[in-house]
Amino acid sequence: MNDTARTRTALPVFDDVLAAAARIAPHAHVTPVLRSHSIDAIAGCELHFKAEHLQRAGAFKFRGACNAVWSLSDEDAARGVVTHSSGNHGAALALAARTRGIACHVVVPEGAVAAKLAAIEAYGATLHRCAPTIAAREIRCAQLQAETGAELVHPYTDPRVIAGQGTAALELLSDATPFDALVVPVGGGGLASGTALAVAACSPRTRLHLAEPSGAAETWASMQRGERVTEFTPDTICDGLRGTLGEPNFALLHAHGARVLKVDDADTVAAMRLFWQRTKQIVEPSSAVALAAVLGNRETFDGQRVGIVLSGGNVDPDALPELFARG
């Protein structure tokens, strides 16, 4: 097994997070940590928001994508990268590829939101449309890999991606005073498992909580059962959290003993509205779910110092009526 193959299959470790931090430093923003005294008063605890909605391409996803792209040898990089995602990962990988001047292919399902596809194209990626099924997009990805030799960068199971996502928590935890708790959203588990690596190494007494929509709570079910649950039909407005928890992601999260807090969409919308009003910052539902988890579990966080990773801010203004109707 050569180094690249090992990288693609082994579980990442904390050293990979440190290496990712150094690798992405020339390209990614060190995002600010925001405070709101009025939200603290409502929550009954001290909240520190890691503002990944201000990350390049509008989400933490750029960290993992950038780490994957800059982990490639020059030879591999020359053949480009490929992924399937019509959301934040597609845009993030497109921008990451541009930082290295290499090709990026993004497989997108028919019917994906036009504005999101336009964003991916604006970063210079080539779109490849396929039928809106998992089988169709995996076949199309495999075809593109065969045709171009491009490297597949999976949105959340790729160890380079997991390590990259862990750098957000690494920055947050570098604050002077230790956190009692960290709360991050969980979907496929890239951010969550990368955060677990950072917490375990930098601040083992900090409790890691995962915020998950009630309508896509297979991570909660997986942690309850102690094995990965993959059978579920997501029903949530948190479009970034509809994916199925990945295998390496489950392995890392289960080993870490992360707790899952389920959140109803209505509470997520209420938290998003509150955050918008008090901070004038646009975060997407998949981020607001973490604040909602804190607001809905006061006894768990009462008086604590809590870090929240605001994962992204890519909300389509035209989607607002539908979003607020759910709140």
Q: List 59's β-bridge partners, or say none.
A: 312
Q: Which of residues 127-156 bind a copy of itself (CB under 8 A)?
A: none
Smallest gap from Cβ 53 to a copy of itself, in A, equals 5
Q: Which of residues 31-70 bind a copy of itself (CB under 8 A)?
A: 53-54, 58
Indicate which single residue of 45, 283, 290, 308 sits in contact with a copy of itself (rule: CB under 8 A): 283
Smallest gap from Cβ 74 to a copy of itself, in A, equals 27
Smallest gap from Cβ 325 to a copy of itself, in A, equals 9
H or E stretch including 309? Answer: strand 305-310
Cα 173 from Cα 269, distance rounded (Å): 27
Taking CB under 8 A as the rule, does residue 273 contact a copy of itself?
yes
* Beta carbons within 10 angstroms of residue 182's beta carbon: 26
Q: What angle do CA 311, 128, 239 make, to 5 degrees?
A: 25
Pick 55 or 244: Cβ nearer a copy of itself: 55
Pick 103 or 271: Cβ nearer a copy of itself: 271
Indicate which single residue of 143, 281, 297, 300 sits in contact with a copy of itself (rule: CB under 8 A): 281
Site string for a copy of itself, 305-324 (x = CB under 8 A): --------x---xx-xx--x
Residue in 164, 156, 163, 169 with CA at minimum distance from that of residue 49: 169
Under DSSP, is residue 131 helix (H, G, I), strand (E, B) or coil?
Answer: coil
Smallest gap from Cβ 40 to a copy of itself, in A, equals 15
b/e code 160-181 from CB counts within 10 Å (16+ = b): bbbbbbbbbbbbbbeeeeebbb
Taking CB under 8 A as the rule, does residue 29 contact a copy of itself?
no
Pick 22 or 118: Cβ nearer a copy of itself: 118
Only segment of 106-114, 192-200, 275-283, 291-299 that touches a copy of itself (CB under 8 A): 275-283
Q: In what order do the strands lie in the sheet containing 151-152?
A: 126-130, 104-109, 81-84, 151-152
For residue 59, what is the DSSP state?
B
Q: Structure tokens of 257?
A: 């003993």
Only segment of 94-102, 241-249, 255-263, 279-287 that touches a copy of itself (CB under 8 A): 279-287
Smallest gap from Cβ 156 to a copy of itself, in A, equals 22
Pick 6 or 278: Cβ nearer a copy of itself: 278
Only segment of 16-24, 138-146, 210-218, 277-285 that touches a copy of itself (CB under 8 A): 277-285
Residue in 243, 225, 257 with CA at minimum distance from that of residue 186: 243
Cα 56 from Cα 270, distance rounded (Å): 26
Pick 205 or 280: Cβ nearer a copy of itself: 280
Q: Structure tokens of 260?
A: 């899952």
Cα 202 from Cα 206, distance rounded (Å): 9
Pick 256 or 273: Cβ nearer a copy of itself: 273
Q: What angle do CA 116, 118, 122 make, to 5 degrees?
A: 120
Smallest gap from Cβ 60 to a copy of itself, in A, equals 13
Q: Structure tokens of 28?
A: 């990614």
For residue 52, what is the DSSP state?
G
- Interface with a copy of itself (CB under 8 A): 53-54, 58, 273, 276-277, 280-283, 313, 317-318, 320-321, 324
